[in-house]
Amino acid sequence: MNFKIRTKIVLIALVSLLLAIGINATISSYIITREYSDALQSQALVIGQGLELQLDRLLKYGIFLDEVVGFEKQCQEIVNEYKDTSYAMVVDTEGKILFHNDPSQRGQRLADPVLLEAAKGTVAQVLEVYPRPGEGYFDVTIPIRDSRDRHVAAVKVGLPTRLVAQRTQALLLSSGATALVSLGLAVILLLVMLPPGSPVRWRSCWPSFKRSDKRERQAPGGSRFVPGMKSGNWLLLSMAWQNRFAS
């Protein structure tokens, strides 16, 4: 019977801990995904603003956009400096690629209608796009204006969305390993605190005396006494009672 009670206690504690770990993992995954997505979008925006600033300096000198040469180098430097960056490019308002970190992409046109619409926009935008199944990007589009304040192009920078899943998975694995170690220690501690013979034997605290076959009688005043015991033995009985609780 003691073994069954011990097993039930351990199982209840184990299930409770596993449930708490599962709830914590779910909440943590949601928070990490949201926070890291926001962080990546902010990072892409900062990178795009840096590239936009370099091109804006050239245009402010009165140089026309089609006269700019070699800006692919700046796009390549962006990708090399920020390792997580998938692409950096400059496109005109019609979606034609003017400069790209991959020179072979120059002259191509944006095929994704969402990206094309963003290139025509006059305000900075951060989009989450999936040009192909399983391939997603946080795409930042920043409009470019020439010296006459005309919207002539846009800078585009992209960071892969898979970074969020990778970071979330890494953090969850780390926290999951810590939680499992804590769970194992808790179970071990519980087993140590509840050895096989540990449950209290509730009837063992009663004084052991030879029971009379006669039924107990109610004494005046509501007290109970055992027939056959002398009144002088109640002191010994009380002392035995206290000794058993003390042990």
Mean pLDDT, the chain, whole residue set: 78
pTM beyond 0.75, yes or no: no
Residue pair 87/101 in contact by the 8 Å Cβ criterion? yes
Cα 129 to Cα 84, 156, 159, 223: the distances in Å are 16, 13, 10, 84
Q: Rounding to the nearest 10 degrees, give the CA dihedral for residues 100, 103, 107, 112.
A: -50
Q: pLDDT band at residue 89, thresholds of 50, 70 and 90? A: very high
Total number of residues shown for the chain: 247
pLDDT of residue 242: 56
Closest CA relative to residue 176, chosen from 33, 24, 14, 13: 24
Q: Domain 13-166, what architecture? A: 2-Layer Sandwich (3.30)
Please compute the mean of the pLDDT values over residues 81-85 and round it to a whole number: 89
Q: Over the stretch 48-58, which tens digit does the pLDDT of each residue have?
A: 999 999 999 88
Break the chain into its structural domains and give their ranges: 13-166, 204-246
Task: Give pLDDT tens digits for 114-173.
Answer: 888 999 998 999 998 887 777 889 999 999 998 888 899 999 999 999 888 888 777 778
- What number is the average pLDDT over the span 241-245? 54
